[in-house]
Amino acid sequence: MNKVILIGNLGHDPEAKEVGGKPVVNFRLATNERWRDRDGERQESTEWHSCALWGAQVEHFVRLVGKGTKVAIEGRLHHREDEKDGVKRTFTTVVVQRWELLAGARQEGAAEGGGEGGGEGDEVAEEAA
């Protein structure tokens, strides 16, 4: 089973575009982990995740969320390889199938947020490296 669930904050305002005539929004999601080390000092680590949302929910997503908005996403991992100047790189993207707005809506009354992606969730928009 290929399934991932993340709760985090958007790193930038999402911008919708069309790829192959289908709406898509690519965004980065920051997840944080906090703990205390052996000396009792607080530590924090942030992981950044590349995400892609396709289909009917793109417009709704772009309208409701912005930089710093907390969201929960559910989707699947997609890996692709690219080679540039003889160097192979692997890119991992979370293809979002469901999402939920947790806080920081752009509009009043937007707390209903969230939804399921359209049927195009099997695709991945490739961002320029």
Domain residue spans of the chain: 4-35+43-122
Q: Pick the closest to residue 96 from 45, 47, 61 (CA basis).
A: 61
Pure H helices in 1-129? 57-64
End-to-end CA distance of the chain: 29
Q: Which fold has domain 4-35+43-122?
A: OB fold (Dihydrolipoamide Acetyltransferase, E2P) (2.40.50)
Q: 78-83: list long-range contacts, CB under 8 Å, 24+ apart.
A: 78/52, 78/124, 80/124, 80/126, 82/129
Per-residue pLDDT of the chain (129 residues; tens, 9 = 90+): 999 999 999 999 999 999 999 999 999 999 999 999 999 999 999 999 999 999 999 999 999 999 999 999 999 999 999 999 999 999 999 999 999 999 755 644 344 445 554 444 445 444 433
